[in-house]
Amino acid sequence: MKKVFVNGYGSIGSRITQFIAGDSDVELIGIGKYSLDDKVSDAISRGFGVYVPKNKLEQFKNFKISGTIEDALEKCDLVIDAAPGGNGYINKKNLYEPKNVRAIFQGGEKITGENAVADVIFNSRANYVEAFDKKYVMQGSCNVTGMGRILQPLKEKYGKKIKRFDATLIRRWADLEDSKTEVKDSIEWTRKPHHNDDVKSYMGKDTPLFIRAFKVPTRQMHVHSMDIRFNETVPSSPEILDLFKNEYGVAILYTAKGTKDIRDFAETTKFSFKDTNMIHIHADMLEVQDDIVKITYSDDQTGIVVPENHLLMQAMLFKRNKNDAFKHTEDLFHMEEKKKILEEHFSMK
């Protein structure tokens, strides 16, 4: 059986770990932990092997530690790196390359320049098979992943009929469980957001995509406001909604007032980690004006990349046929069921 190690146990790593642990196709070696905090006991109590850097073994001596990070890498076929942005590159150089281990990196890394971790960003909707023979692949960030679910279906249906996509990303400041980051009373803008090049890396360099990004003081998801300008006849709102009706990981909601409404509902329905794992098109905000379709959707920042990592893992470890991989991911994540529950709750009244 293929063996997987998750290096990092924060917002993303802890979620990935929980789902991988429930996957009978792979064996979870354990998780990498770097600081002495509550999450050490949390991981141990869930039965996960905890591995720490060699020079920190002494610090962790009061816990039942399974070994060093290097020990875990000796045993695994694939490492899912979930380190803070930029550390994935350092891990690649210091650990994964010397140990000759294949790796998935997260969206805080880069695929260009000196610190590139891979030469491809994965998006299951756009380039699933590209990951088959790669040694290193980067999973797109939450915003980059969500955009693929909107752009790819539009590209497939309308192609050159679309003149340009102008998207404004309204990004959350910090995650729900991130107690270390203070949410500042400010709106910050991002110069040259990485999302533009990241999305184009898998959609094609010639994609007419133009992104602005702002960070706002909330912990409750991202919202993307996108204007899609057509060269010719503009589709109607019902035609646009119809295009997304059966898209995996896309829910169409009518009555959510804001992102917290959706998270609060996810909590009442006992979705793991209060995640929906998807994007939510806000149909009540959809408008067609002249040659432009204006679409607004929210993006579950922490949840959306977790099933994507699971799909990417299947592509890299098993080269699994895409439909089979989606079925297997669905068995663990129940996203079809979540979509149905969300769509019923936030339906047109």
Ligand X SMILES: NC(=O)c1ccc[n+]([C@@H]2O[C@H](COP(=O)([O-])OP(=O)(O)OC[C@H]3O[C@@H](n4cnc5c(N)ncnc54)[C@H](OP(=O)(O)O)[C@@H]3O)[C@@H](O)[C@H]2O)c1
Give the nearest distance from C-beta 97 to ligand X in angstroms: 14
Asked whether 255 and 269 are in contact (CB, 8 A), the reply is no
Work out whether 124 is an interface residue with ligand X (CB under 6 A).
no
Cα–Cα distances (Å) from 295 to 13, 143, 287, 303, in that order, read 31, 15, 7, 21
Angle at CA of residue 274, ends 13 and 262, nearest 5°: 130
Separation CA 247–CA 256 (nearest Å) = 20
Task: Return the residue of 30, 107, 193, 235 that touches ligand X, per CB under 6 A.
Answer: 107
Work out whether 298 is an interface residue with ligand X (CB under 6 A).
no
* Interface of this chain with ligand X, residues 303 to 332, rule: CB under 6 A: 305
* Interface of this chain with ligand X, residues 77 to 106, rule: CB under 6 A: 82-85, 87, 91, 106
Work out whether 17 is an interface residue with ligand X (CB under 6 A).
no
Work out whether 60 is an interface residue with ligand X (CB under 6 A).
no
Work out whether 41 is an interface residue with ligand X (CB under 6 A).
no
Asked whether 104 and 80 are in contact (CB, 8 A), the reply is yes
Interface region with ligand X, contact rule CB under 6 A, candidates 115-123, 152-160, 267-275, 297-305:
297-305
Q: Is 142 a catalytic residue?
A: yes
Give the nearest distance from C-beta 57 to ligand X in angstroms: 14
Separation CA 18–CA 327 (nearest Å) = 18
Asked whether 203 and 195 are in contact (CB, 8 A), the reply is no
Return the residue nearest ligand X (CB atom). Answer: 10
Please give the distance of CA 98 from its chain centroid, rounded to a whole number. 27
171-190 mask for ligand X (x: CB under 6 A)?
----x---------------
Work out whether 35 is an interface residue with ligand X (CB under 6 A).
yes
| Phi, psi angle pair for 7, to nearest 5° | -95, 100
Separation CA 30–CA 50 (nearest Å) = 6
Work out whether 72 is an interface residue with ligand X (CB under 6 A).
no
Nearest in space to 73 (alpha carbons), one of 43, 52, 89: 52
Show which residues are catalytic: 142
Catalog residues that contact ligand X under the rule CB under 6 A. Answer: 7-13, 32-35, 82-85, 87, 91, 106-109, 141-142, 175, 301-302, 305
